[in-house]
Amino acid sequence: MSHVIVSDSREHNKTSIVVFTNKLLELKPEGVKHVKIWTDGPKSQFKNKYVMYSMQMLSDKHNVQISWNFSATSHGKGPVDGIGATLKRVADEKVQRRQCVINGVEDFYEAVKGGKVQVTMITERVLAKLAYKLQLGQLFDNAEAIIGITDFHYIAPGYVTKRYTSGIFDDNSSIDMDIKPNDSDKSED
């Protein structure tokens, strides 16, 4: 099952990435022991010490092993792009048929919920509350530099590599997550 988080936040930074990842981990099916995250590699969004340092906290909190795989920044389109495009098409078609008017995230959420893709809405206000609850300010203050992170293709708590690594799990105990915010608004962190 695909799951998308929609938000009125235009910040695609360390805080939103960790809060959204935490929410997706809360929604994972029972019995999942390994989560493989696939994203492109912009340092302003994913490939930075803050998000990587948060992986251990999220892993412990949700009792899962997390690995993060990076493709080349701004290269190609992955499955997550197709899922987002599908939701945008659904919303566009409803607007064209005069079934709804979309003036914000709440309207978009109402237009696309209930389909094959699960949709969760996290407003800016809720995002701030969840970041506070996760104590991200303190967590980020303790984040240590990861030398050479921009060259890495795979990171897991306790394991980093510049080589591309993949794994196959035959016991159905892992899931893949693709996480990609809208590229139109990138913030540096």
Taking only the tens place, the pLDDT of each residue in 5-43 is 999 998 888 899 899 999 999 999 999 999 988 776 555
Name all contacts of 170-174 with Cβ < 8 Å and 24+ positions apart: 173/31, 173/32, 173/33, 173/34, 174/32, 174/33, 174/34, 174/35, 174/36
Q: Higher confidence at residue 59 or residue 74?
A: 59
What's the pTM? 0.77
How sure is the predictor about 175, in pLDDT bands with cuts at 50, 70 and 90? very low
E strands present in 63-166: 65-70, 118-121, 154-156, 159-161
Look at strands 154-156 and 159-161 and give their pairing. Answer: antiparallel
Q: Higher confidence at residue 113 or residue 2?
A: 113
Q: Higher confidence at residue 154 or residue 11?
A: 11
